Structure 1
Amino acid sequence: MMSERGVGSAVVIDPDSEGIGIMTERDVLNAIGAGLDCDVERTGAHLTWDVVYAGPEWTIEEAAAAMARGGFRHLVVLDGREVAGVISVRDIMRVWAASRMVGTGG
C-alpha cells in the first residue's frame, strides 16, 4: 500500500494493543534484510509503538525540530485522539523550498 500511494509510512491503529503505531520504509527494509517472508509476516511485529505525536497547530519549524531531536523522518499528527495525518521530512522540505523560491522571486 505504501508503494502504491507513494508514501514512506503508514499509521497502524490497534485498539486492542498499544494504540497507534507507525510502519516506515525502514521497518519494511529491516524485515526484508533479515530474510523474513513479507507474505507471511504481520505488521504488528515490525511497528514502532514509541511514536512521537504532533498537534495540528504545530508550526513546520516545531515539527522539524521534533524530528531532528528524535532522529526520525515521520511525525504522526493527532487532533485530539484522532489521527489527522503524517508529516514527513519530504513535506517539510517542500514547504521550505517553496518559501525559498518566494523569497527569491522564483
Structure 2
Amino acid sequence: MRVREAMSSQVLVVGPDHTLRQAAGMMAQRRVGSAVVVDPDSQGIGIMTERDVLNAVGAGLDCDVERTAAHLTWDVVYAGPDWTLEEAAATMVRGGFRHLVVLEDGEVLGVISVRDIVRVWASERTVTPQD
C-alpha cells in the first residue's frame, strides 16, 4: 500500500503566532497529533506535534504566551505520496518521529502517522473467525 492511500488528507494548519494552547486545542478538537505550521515570512513548512506541546508544558512554560514558532520542527522530513508504508515506517524509525508531512510538487497533500500505518497493517492482517 502507498502513503497516499493511508495518509490523513485533512491537515490541521496553524500559524507561527498561535499560542501553544490554541494549537493544542485545535489538535484535540480534531483528534490529531500534529499540526502543519505555515509561516508566510519564512521558507518551508514546519510541524508541531503533541510531543512539542508536552515538552513545553513539562518545562513549565506558559501555554498562553508561548507561540508555535518557538516549539516546532522546521527541518521536517517529508514523505512522497507514492512511498510504500514500509518506506514511511522505516523513515519514522530512523528519525525517531511519529508523523511525516506528505508533499507532492511542494504542496502539502496530507500527514501520515504511525497510527495510520498501524491501522492499515492491522486491518490487512485481521483474521476472520471460521465457522
Match of 2:30 in 1: 5
Match of 1:52 in 2: 77
- Code of the residue aligned with 2:55 in structure 1: it is N
Q: Distance in 2 between matches of 1:26 and 1:15?
A: 24
- Code of the residue aligned with 1:78 in structure 2: it is L
What SS does the aligned partner of 1:77 have?
Answer: strand
TM superposition shift of 1:35: 0.9
Contact 1:18 1:49 in 2 (8 A): no
Work out the percentage of aligned pairs sharing the same amino acid: 79
Select the residue among 30, 39, 42 that pairs with 2:64: 39
Taking only aligned residues, the RMSD between alpha carbons, in angstroms, comes to 1.1
What SS does the aligned partner of 1:4 have?
Answer: helix
Match of 1:105 in 2: 128
TM superposition shift of 1:18: 3.9
Select the residue among 85, 90, 101 that pairs with 1:65: 90
TM superposition shift of 1:19: 1.7
Q: Normalised by the size of structure 1, how large is the TM-score?
A: 0.93
Match of 2:119 in 1: 94
Q: Which stretch shows the higher mean deviation, 72-81 or 11-20?
A: 11-20
- Structure with higher RCO (Cα < 8 A, 6+ apart): 2
Q: Distance in 1 between matches of 2:42 and 2:70?
A: 12
The structure with more strand, counted as a fraction of residues: 1
Aligned length: 104
Q: Which stretch shows the higher mean deviation, 62-71 or 12-21?
A: 12-21
Stretches of structure 2 that go unaligned for 5 or more consecutive residues are: 1-25
Moved over 2 A (4+): none
- Code of the residue aligned with 1:5 in structure 2: it is R
